Structure 1
């Protein structure tokens, strides 16, 4: 059995991967599907969160971590919708920590540091090849930086990619 220190991490972004946005009327003529009824004052975007993703994410042989600007609000708003336990949350440094190298996503360095040398996968809608190259050159363990199409959110194909990467390790 793999100890929690050896299990890969799965960093999860919210806007785009779990809450899709930006599709055209041609892609979703009736608008985005909604899954969860929302009461007065609730964030209407949370209705787009598919609760079926929770059990699928939880079944992956890795440790889930929120890597989102929602920070701890992800635990308050999303974990109940997804049926997940409270997850660790990446806290982002202040922007004054210095500029990012050209083209590098502002989350990339923090996630490499947060992983503390553990293998990790990262699902986000803003990952580029620049991030992949930077992580490969600086992170001692395996990594998968997988870009999710924000118009669709996490799909079966995205989960299959993560599952295949996890099985290789």
Structure 2
């Protein structure tokens, strides 16, 4: 900016796949989803095309990032099915298949964020509580997947973050 002030960075939206976009815990494929064989010899992935609209809504206020053990398979396989752009990917490296928190911590720095996951865990909640940057953990039921209410919650968080009416952490 010309006046020498820095524009704050947009918050990140960390997006998990299994449990969030793929409701693996549902006993049968939920209405609105279809099963797709993305990994030969493994369980089919449940995909809801409407998730693309939800993710594009997030793009208006957040910088979306894949935060999934799928790593580069998420944009390669799901991006085209959902019609979303090629979001960056958090590389978990040596932590796969373990807790995501070390990789998330390395990737996000001090940016505000919302994190959609079905398995945040106590360590993620503690980390979020201690962060100086506004942080919202959005738990998603792995039998139902991501819905409009989750996105509404994130958008309200983004608005409060942008206007400065939010503290350092919210759960």
Picking from 53, 61, 70, the partner of 1:55 is: 53
- Give the distance between the partners of 1:7 and 1:94, measured in 2 at CA: 29
Q: Does 1:142 align with 2:134?
A: yes
**Matched pairs, number:** 153
Deviations 1:116-162 (A, max 9, x none): 2111111000013442222221x321111111000000012211211
TM-score by length of 2: 0.77
Look up the match of 2:12.
9
- Give the distance between the partners of 1:135 and 1:18, measured in 2 at CA: 22
Deviations 1:31-73 (A, max 9, x none): 4335457589867633x21111212212221011111111111
Residues 71/134 of structure 1: CA separation in 2 closer, same or farther (3 Å cut)? same
- The answer to whether the 8 A contact 1:5-1:118 is kept is no
Alignment of 1:111-122 (within 5 A): 111-122=104-115
- The answer to whether the 8 A contact 2:35-2:44 is kept is no
Alignment of 1:22-37 (within 5 A): 22-24=25-27, 31-33=29-31, 35-36=33-34
- Give the distance between the partners of 1:95 and 1:57, measured in 2 at CA: 26
* Contiguous gaps of at least 5 residues in structure 1: 97-104
* Contiguous gaps of at least 5 residues in structure 2: 162-171
- The answer to whether the 8 A contact 2:117-2:139 is kept is yes
Look up the match of 1:82.
82
| Structure 1 counterpart SS, 2:93 | coil
- The answer to whether the 8 A contact 1:7-1:62 is kept is yes
| Structure 2 counterpart SS, 1:146 | strand
TM-score by length of 1: 0.78
